Every structure is written in structure tokens, then in C-alpha cells.
Amino acid sequence: MIYLDNAATTFPKAPGTLERAVELYRELGVSPGRGNHDLAMRASDAVEEVRAKVATFFGAPDPTRVAFAANASDALNTVLLGLVRPGDHVVATRLDHNSVLRPLHHLAATGVIAWDAAPFDDAGIVTADAVEALLRPNTRLVVMAHASNVIGTVQPVAEIARRCAARGVPVVVDAAQSAGQVPIDMAAMGIGALAFTGHKSLYGPSGIGGLVLMPSLDVETSRFGGTGMDSASLVHTRSYPLRLEAGTLNLLGVLGLGLGLDFVSLEGVEAIHAREAALLRRLRDGLVSIDGVTVYLASGGLSDRVAVLACNVAGVHPQDVGAILDGDFEIAVRVGVHCAPLAHRDLGTIDRGAVRFSLGAFTTAADIDAAIAAMRAIATG
């Protein structure tokens, strides 16, 4: 089987990481931060070690401002609900995923906020001008996908953050697709908050992600519960990171995330990205040479994007393309509307969606050549 659905989740994970995570969990699998006994403290230390790794990986100065979450969606809910107040305005982008769009839609539908989505240009980029044009005096924050999960373009977040900072507006980045594929330095790029998920290009298991904050940005608690701290009080802990973590952590997930981060750091984000970009070019060049295949917004060298490519075959429904790739060629891809409805509307693919190929650290040139050959066979009937 050839797996080209890594934007959904990377598969397989790095050799040995899951085994090692389970081994550590067997040794330390008690409730971290909830007991004074030796094992609970060792479990807490293991969690804090991963917290520090996350902060370093994203160029954030303070590990206590790393709050673990279930995934990027969970972290985005935490930061959006924790920052906006009634009457606020929010700017997002038309490339955003439903994990940004739906919380904003909900907040708007319940009368809490108004929001606008900045358009992308012909190259699939949301420019700083496009974002700045939407800022209002009451804009509370800008939230945006760093990399599009449909077309793979990487947005000029540093420039956008610089312009927004001049207007006193923090930028919240959804790094679900970029973390592990694009170097991120929150301090250097001026990012106020970053949501990440562990199971994509950080090569961790599903069920773990997090929110990373710069110390200048305070986020209010939107979910309340036990933290193992101030237990006599009815008030949820105000200190970070527990302010944004209610209930027992996903310890196995945290351990797996730490090992995934070790793998990515050892390989090097730039090295992984360079390999994937070369394969992405190979895929794009192969697909555009096939009559009847349309590739969406994938011109140029592609070294400035994540390894995601969307296309369609004339006269064949994307669901059928996916079924044939799977059934006849044992190639796994994602088809349909990829949780980014505004992007699909603008690409003209909202009705049928598209076929999405997404590469990972273990994708080979042979995988790409097999995918091109399969698409040629489908396009020529």
C-alpha cells in the first residue's frame, strides 16, 4: 500500500517511537501532577521535559506557556474562546480549516463577535495587505492557517504579524500543517499564539496537540476542572499552563509527541522539507503532463510550501478517483472537500471537492511514480 494521505495524519510514524512511548508509559503511567509519590513526580518530570521540547521547537521563551490539548482543533477552541469578548472583531483567512472557521462561525452566530476572512491571491497566498485591509479598531485578533491543507501554500505570517503588531493585534497561527515541515520561530516571527497537533508532521500519535503562547498574551480559561493544584478552591487555577489544562493529561500522547519531536529534530525540519519538496515537484510535473488533470495553484518551484497537492481529473468524480486509486492501485489519498470550505469555494471545487495527495518523511520517488502512473491510467480511461 502506498500512503499519500499524510496531511490527514502521518503514517507510518518514525521507527521505534511508538514502541518506546509504550515502554515509557509502562514505566511511568501514573497521573502526572496529581501525587507526591516518586512515580507521580517522575511522570510530571517527563511531561515537563516534553513541554520544554515543544517550547524550544517553536522558538517560544517560556515552557510554562505550552498547554497540552487533544489536537489543533482543541487548542484553537481554547485560544479563540479565551481571547474574544462580546463586540470583538476577528480576521481569519479563506484558506482556513473548519477548526478555525467553525468556532468563529459559532461565536458570530451567537452574537459574540463579527469576523471577516481575508482572500488568497492567484498564487494561493494571503498577503499582508489583504489581512491589513480587514483590520478594524475593534479587531481583537488575526487567526490563520500557516499552511493550507488544500493547496499547501505557506502564508507570510511574519510580515502579517509585523503589520498587525503595529496596530496592537496579536496573530494566532494554526500550525497543524506546517509544524514539522516549515521552521517556526514564534519570537522571531512575532506570533502571539500557535496551535499545533501532534499526529501530522510531528510524527506523534493522535490525541495530543497543544497551544503555545508568548508571555505577552493572556488567554482566559474556557474549560474548568481538576488540575491537581489549589484543590480546596472552587476557582480554576490562574497560573500557566494549568490555567488552560483541565483534567488528567494524555500522558501516553505527551510521551509519543516528545519522541516524534526528537525524530523531527534529529532529521531536521529543513532536511525533511527539502526531500518532500523535491518529491512534490516530481508529482506536480508528472500530473500536469497528463491530459485532463487539473492541478490547483501549484506552479513554480514549490519549495516554499508544504507537501500537499490538490487536483481533479476531467470527467471523473474525485470520489471515484479515490476509490480507483485505493481499489486498483492500493494508493491512499483523501478526496472531497478537505474541511476548508471557503478555499474550495474560491477554487471552484466546493461541489465535488478534489483529490489530495500529501507526502510524508517516508514517501519515496517510487511512490510518486506509481501515483502518476495510476492517475494517467485513470485520466485515459
Ligand X SMILES: Cc1ncc(COP(=O)(O)O)c(C=O)c1O
Residues of this chain that interact with ligand X (CB under 6 A) are 71-73, 97, 99, 145, 149, 174, 176-177, 197, 209, 339
Q: Is the CB of 215 or the CB of 247 nearer to ligand X?
A: 247
Amino acid found at 217 = L
Q: CB 77 → ligand X: shortest distance, Å? A: 10
Please give the grid coordinates belonging to residue 66.
Answer: 505550552
**349 Cβ contact list (under 8 Å, min separation 6):** 296, 310, 312, 337
Sheet containing strand 334-336, edge to edge, reads 293-295, 308-313, 354-358, 334-336
Smallest gap from residue 16 Cβ to ligand X (A): 23
The nearer residue to ligand X, 145 or 157, going by C-beta atoms, is 145
Instruction: Tell me the angle at which helices 251-267 and 269-288 cross, rounded to the nearest 10 degrees.
Output: 80
Q: Is 164 a catalytic residue?
A: no
Question: Using DSSP, how many helices (H) and how many strands (E) does the chain show?
Answer: 12, 13
Closest by CA position to 124, among listed 145, 93, 144, 151: 151
Look at the block and give the residue holding cell 514549490: 302
Residue number with CB closer to ligand X (9 or 237): 9
3-class DSSP state of 375: helix
The active-site residue out of 219, 306, 339, 374 is 339
Say what angle helices 38-57 and 251-267 make with each other, to 10 degrees: 40
**Which is nearer to ligand X, 113 or 176 (by Cβ)?**
176
Which residue, 149 or 349, is less far from ligand X as judged by CB? 149
Task: Name the minimum Å distance from CB 213 to ligand X.
Answer: 18
In the complex, what is the shortest distance from the CB of residue 27 to ligand X, in angstroms, rounded to a whole number? 27
In angstroms, give the least distance from the CB of 217 to ligand X: 20
Instruction: Compute the chain's Rg from CA coordinates.
Output: 21
Closest CA to 61 of 186, 157, 184: 186
351: helix, strand or coil = coil
**Nearer Cβ to ligand X (149/181):** 149
User: Nearest distance from residue 199's CB to ligand X, in Å?
Assistant: 6
Cα–Cα distance, 310 to 294 (Å, whole number)? 9
Length of the chain: 381
Q: Mind telling me the catalytic residues?
A: 339
